[in-house]
Chain A
Amino acid sequence: NAGVMQNPRHLVRRRGQEARLRCSPMKGHSHVYWYRQLPEEGLKFMVYLQKENIIDESGMPKERFSAEFPKEGPSILRIQQVVRGDSAAYFCASSPPGLGYNEQFFGPGTRLTVL
């Protein structure tokens, strides 16, 4: 069973461009979480999605950031008009369906550098 996959692993964008980060959860997992880690800081929750639904986006900046988890395909975190402050590592995690205290499995992250 492959783990959580993220691509690209490294992404370089110039200010004003768009960044698209992809996350494929573990097989059978229907919950996806996105976290951001700024340089030398801890991980911060951004958004929690289930298939086709955003459950909690309380950690997501109100502008330029959006996330989706379509019925088919990976979850996408989209950052429009990137700025230097968006440079960070973005981690995706997934967990299986159902209630309970399911652990979250993390991917290797995408490192975004904005020039």
Chain B
Amino acid sequence: DAKTTQPPSMDCAEGRAANLPCNHSTISGNEYVYWYRQIHSQGPQYIIHGLKNNETNEMASLIITEDRKSSTLILPHATLRDTAVYYCIVRPGSGNTPLVFGKGTRLSVIA
């Protein structure tokens, strides 16, 4: 079972920042937080991952709380093409392990 809890759906206006929360209160010390998204019927796409420090790449930023029990994925300027299901995944720290997907958050970006 997934070790994360996410809201089932969110809306965001185009051009605004989308902030997607995730709770992972039982995360272990060596587990990373990964974010993937799945745009309608396509294969999931990796977005970002982090251990305890905030991370940023060309797609998004990941903010992890100091106690590591929750995190927020930030899409700084959401576009219509960001409409997708976003999955927050806690991954065991022994490398090359399968991903355990929960139900994710369905983000709708509205014009």
Cβ of A104: which chain B residues have Cβ within 8 Å of it? 46, 99
Number of interface residues of B (CB under 8 A): 24
B16 in contact (CB, < 8 A): no
A45 touches B98 (CB 8 A): yes
Contact mask for chain B residues 32-49; partner A; CB cutoff 8 A; 1 contact, 0 none: 101000100111111001
A33 touches B46 (CB 8 A): no
The minimal Cβ–Cβ distance linking A95 to chain B, given in whole angstroms, is: 6
The minimal Cβ–Cβ distance linking A75 to chain B, given in whole angstroms, is: 14
**Which residues, 81 to 108 on B, are CB-close (under 8 Å) to A?**
87, 91, 93-104
A106 touches B96 (CB 8 A): no
Q: Dominant SS at the B interface?
A: loop
Q: Which residue of chain B lies nearest to A48 when distances are taken between CB atoms in the complex?
A: B98
B46 touches A45 (CB 8 A): no
- Complex alpha-carbon distance, A106 and B41, angstroms: 12
- B46 in complex: contacting residue of A35, A56, A98, A105, CB < 8 Å: A105
A102 touches B96 (CB 8 A): yes
**Which residues, 59 to 94 on B, are CB-close (under 8 Å) to A?**
87, 91, 93-94
Q: Which residue of chain B lies nearest to A4 when distances are taken between CB atoms in the complex?
A: B43
**Which residues, 42 to 101 on A, are CB-close (under 8 Å) to B?**
42-45, 48, 56, 59, 89, 91, 93, 95, 98-101
Q: Which residues of B are in contact with A by a Cβ distance under 8 Å?
A: 32, 34, 38, 41-46, 49, 87, 91, 93-104
Q: Which residues of A are in contact with B by a Cβ distance under 8 Å?
A: 4, 31, 33, 35, 42-45, 48, 56, 59, 89, 91, 93, 95, 98-109
